[in-house]
Chains A and B, each alone.
Chain A
Amino acid sequence: MRRMALTLLLVLFCGGVVAENASLSISCGALGVELQLCQQGVDHWSSQTGVEVNIVSTPNSSSERFALYQQILASRSSDIDILQIDVVWPGTLAPHLIDLSAYIDKDLTRQYFKTLITNNTIDDRLVAMPWFTVAGVLYYRSDLLEKYEFNPPETWRQLTSMARHIQNAEREAGSPRMQGFVFQAKGYEGLTCNALEWIDSFGGGTLVNQRGDVTIGNPRAIAALDLAASWIGDIAPQGVLNYDEEQSRGVFQSGNAVFMRNWPYAWALGNAADSPVRGQIGVVALPRGGDQGHHSGVLGGWQLAVSKYSKHPQLAANLVQYLTSYAEQKRRATVGSYNPTIPELYRDPDVLKATPFLGTLYKSFEQAVARPSRITGDQYARVSAEFYYAVHEVLAGKKSAAAALPGLQRKLERLSRGGQW
């Protein structure tokens, strides 16, 4: 009762920003630093507007979070007003989300990474605001590269020969477990990210193009996958076929791998005080496919969206705008090294001082390639699954890329309903 009176007083004090005694609930992060940062941001907004905000923590695993959101949204419940959604969900969840462009100024949205805003715009509706972003990058052991007098690899072929050379030399020199390259090839969304990076860097497209045509059955994609398949058992352990992010980090961070493909989060952990490879890690953009190929990293990260069933869409949109604003993203970048979604912040001296790492990553984020989740809409999960099934078969040596990809092309074309999706 006292709390309610206090809120009421605050509302009156703030001069009627809010007409009624509203409260919002937001789902952001699970626990730990992520939740703490969100709580601080939300508290700040709360104290300015006098609106009470509850934070709902949701599971760490994104597949469980997705299932929970689907359930809550399908029942049209107003229990969660603001949802933190993955970069590949807007296409699927769009029918349940409000159009934020009605509340957030166009000039403002122009400041964000264009790829992200495009990714979050479904049928001309801006359904989510980019909050923080990640992209796939290549980690390497700077000490080992120096020892064998190599520069960080420019192309995948260079990576392959460097990894083989260092791995074999190190194994003979008394570290029998040394591996050349670890990445994520378990049958899950992570494999889609890895494989898209290989294929896109060879100029083999991103599975489905902007117009909705399936493009996977092309010679460059086949060349990319053939190269990747040759790694297994040569420079990559066979176990990589069941590795996710943490298993590959485990191998790399225990000093047992020369190269690793992972997300930016592994940087801080690899350089933690108790890490055996502390200070011996370098990070660069993922290699190009060949001389005519380009660097490519798959886009990841999280967005904030407002549920259509929210009782206070205006307030919720307001909070979203605040949390994704320049000032708030700057705070999150300096305190928790969450990668901002506003390019300007990568030139901000305070941010660069706190996390110098961000400057190196800027190019990777700017050029990051989105998975085809926008164009394929609610079919994306199926498209991605068919893709990683096929890639997994090629990597496991059950089929050649030349045999697997045309079949995948036909399967996806059937799903695409002539590019309409």
Chain B
Amino acid sequence: MPMLMVLALVAGWPLIKTIAYGFTDASLIDPESANFIGLDNFTYLLQDSYWWSSVWNTVVFAVVSVSLETVLGLIIALTLHAHFPGRGGLRAAILIPWAIPTVVSAQMWNWMYNDVFGVLNHVFLLLGLIDDPVAWTASPDTALLSIIIVDVWKTTPFMALLLLAGLQMLPQECYESARIDGVHPIKVFFRITLPLLKPTLMVAIIFRLLDALRVFDLVYVMSGNNHNTMSMSVYARQQLIDFGGLGFGSAASTLIFLIIALFTIMYLSVARVGRES
């Protein structure tokens, strides 16, 4: 317990500093000469249309990609839970996307998406799925979608592995009695597996949600500072590092914290209500 307190301090100090900077006009180049300016940063932030578009992008990104990952992760976990030859190798194969550094995989996908020499257009043209090469990452209609696809590819393994652990820890007795009663497997899944798996599912979704709402490298590498896709963290980084606005960037970070906290609390209370009923 005291160890935990020390760690809380270690983690707490930077956080408190960030929140405090949010109320000043500090610059990164000279943090010492900062003046307290109250809520000015926040009022300016709330009027910035770029900020709001980045919030919107992030929320869309997080909701869509986390839902897709949950469904896919569940399917994969159930598959790997079943007995079949070679599932050990498959389990390792599944994990690969999660193991490649994000910056590299984002760049790799970017090249695969290229409209002239990219492999995806090549494959889709061969399969007859599209007639002309598509500029996946450039067109505003598909830019966010192509980033979501990469995120789903990258983080589904996280979901799958965590859910697999949850499945492994479920008590076998329920399944045996269900099998004896001859209940249909799909019914078993919805009546037994899903309710029992719920706590694991919840915690997995929370962490994916937290990560997705803070998404940074993926968006930054794949489309730079483009307002069609800019996420909250990209916005905060641009203000904080590129523009050197330590105060303003910290205020944006604090607001991100508040938005994420709100999301988490909302999600947890909805999930809890569902659990009690």
Contact = CB atoms under 8 A, between A and B. Distances in A.
Interface stretch (B68-76, B90-98, B165-173, B239-247): B239-247
14 contacts: A63-B242, A92-B29, A177-B116, A187-B227, A238-B135, A238-B139, A239-B115, A239-B136, A242-B135, A242-B137, A242-B222, A381-B244, A385-B225, A389-B227
Interface of A: 63, 66-67, 70, 73-74, 92-93, 95-96, 177, 179, 186-188, 237-244, 247, 250-251, 254, 256-257, 378, 381-382, 385, 388-389, 392, 396
Given A237-B115, A378-B29, A70 B227 contact: no
B223 A242 contact: yes
Nearest to A67: B241
Interface of B: 27-31, 110-111, 114-117, 133, 135-140, 143, 222-227, 238, 241-244
Contacts of B226: 186-187, 242, 392
- The dominant DSSP class at the B interface is loop
Nearest to B118: A239
A73 B29 contact: yes
Contacts of B116: 177, 179, 237, 239, 250-251, 254, 256-257
Contact of B28 (A74, A177, A188): A74
B117 A251 contact: yes
Nearest to A238: B135
Contacts of A238: 115, 135, 138-139
Tell me whether chain A's interface is mostly helix, strand or loop, or mixed: helix
Contacts of A392: 226
Contacts of A250: 111, 114, 116-117
B54 to A, nearest CB: 13
A204 to B, nearest CB: 23
Contacts of A239: 114-116, 135-138
A343 B111 CA distance: 38
Contacts of B135: 237-239, 241-242
Contacts of B224: 186-188, 242, 244
Contacts of A378: 27, 29, 244
Nearest to A240: B138
Given A63-B242, A93-B29, A242-B143, 19 more contacts: A70-B28, A70-B29, A73-B29, A74-B28, A74-B29, A74-B31, A92-B244, A95-B30, A186-B224, A187-B226, A238-B139, A242-B110, A242-B138, A242-B223, A247-B111, A256-B116, A257-B116, A382-B243, A392-B226
